[in-house]
Amino acid sequence: MQAPTEVIGGFYTQLDQAVMKILKNEQLLIFGDFNAPLLPLQSLDNTRELQLPDNTVELNCSTKAKDGFPLSQPSRAVVLFCKYNKIPYHEKVIDLAKGEHRMPEYTAIQPAQSVPAIKDGDFTLGESTAIVRYLAAKYNVADHWYPKNIETRAEIDAYLAWQHTGIRKAGINVMVNEIFVPKRTGKPKDQEAVDKFVKEAEESIGKINRLFLKGKRFLCGDEISVADLFAICELVQPLACPSGKGLLKNQPEIADWMKRVEDKLNPDYDELNKPLKAVCQQ
Ligand SMILES: N[C@@H](CCC(=O)N[C@@H](CS)C(=O)NCC(=O)O)C(=O)O
């Protein structure tokens, strides 16, 4: 068996943990079980102070990590929101693979050491859904994104609260097990584990359909909102994996909804997902 230390080189905590489990022949990946040892920190080479125009939001995120692991659904959602709404921002790639999210400079911005996070003047904020709501208010974006109508807004908030436990696990587990763990360990994928996670993803997608979409055009009404944005950024991941290709075959309503959301967000959506899809197709 390989010594676990050989793989301690940096990456996303959950992935490191999955890798450690495989190398130790333990059962694969329990989402949210963060027992892996912290990685040795490497130098943070992309958070130098930049001279930015006063109104530019510094957006720390991971959509195109330098070593090709663009694994951050919430980062993509925030970037897409900024692009679509022409919010002036500067994107700083925090390379999870190198442990840059654990460096002191970044921890000062987001003590929870997760991406994304923003720095807006002296104000810093982590948590993707809070960031989008902050930016929606500050830049007074079109009302449909996060409407002032309190009932619609409450429905959007309900989705944003649900998604952390309702869909994020499905958004990551298929990809981690089918793509990233084999790449990281050099071992073949565990198809049984992948199939289990594909089944879980199908169930979660079914819940989006039953609990939120319910025959509407978008998750919370007739127009696109931040709920759709966060949801599609999760779903694109399992769907991009070879074993996830058939995930929507029994859920045509979700396929149609995704198409509507993509049409609204393109060309930015396709562009932003290119690195992710490239990794999955290798
Ligand atoms: N609740 C956070 C979750 C963010 C999150 O899970 N970020 C992941 C990447 S997708 C991360 O930074 N993980 C770092 C780690 O696990 O060490 C949010 O919505 O911003």
Give the domain range for residue 67.
57-141
Is the CB of 184 within 6 Å of ligand 1? no
Do 61 and 72 touch, CB atoms closer than 8 A?
A: yes
Q: 61 falls in which pLDDT band (50, 70, 90)? A: confident
Is the CB of 115 within 6 Å of ligand 1? yes
Is the confidence at residue 263, as pLDDT, over 70? yes
- Atom of ligand 1 minimally distant from the CA of 73: 10
C-alpha torsion 37→40→46→52, nearest 10: 60
Q: How far is the CA of 17 from the centre of ligand 1 (A)?
A: 15
Residue nearest to atom 14 of ligand 1 (CA): 114
- Atom of ligand 1 minimally distant from the CA of 117: 20
What's the half-sphere exposure (Cβ side, CA atoms, 13 Å) at 75? 26
Which among 34, 92, 95, 43 has a CA at the least distance from the CA of 69? 95
12-16, 114-118, 254-258, 274-278: the lowest-pLDDT one: 12-16
Q: 108 falls in which pLDDT band (50, 70, 90)? A: very high
* Total tally of structural domains belonging to the chain: 2
**Which helix (DSSP H) or strand (DSSP E) does residue 119 occupy?**
strand 117-120
Torsion-angle region of 182 (φ positive above 0: left; ψ -120 to 50: alpha; else: beta) = alpha
Mean residue pLDDT of the chain comes to 82
Instruction: List pLDDT tens digits, range 75-104.
Output: 999 999 999 999 999 988 888 878 889 999
**Could you say which of 111, 141, 171 is where a domain stops?**
141
CATH number at residue 187: 1.20.1050.10
Which among 80, 61, 60 has a CA at the least distance from the CA of 71? 61
Question: For residues 192 and 176, what is the distance between their CA atoms, to the nearest angstrom?
Answer: 14
**Could you say which of 141, 161, 191 is where a domain stops?**
141
Mutate to test the pocket of ligand 1, among 114, 131, 157, 163 (most ligand atoms within 8 A of CB): 114
Q: Domain check: are 154 and 204 in the same one?
A: yes
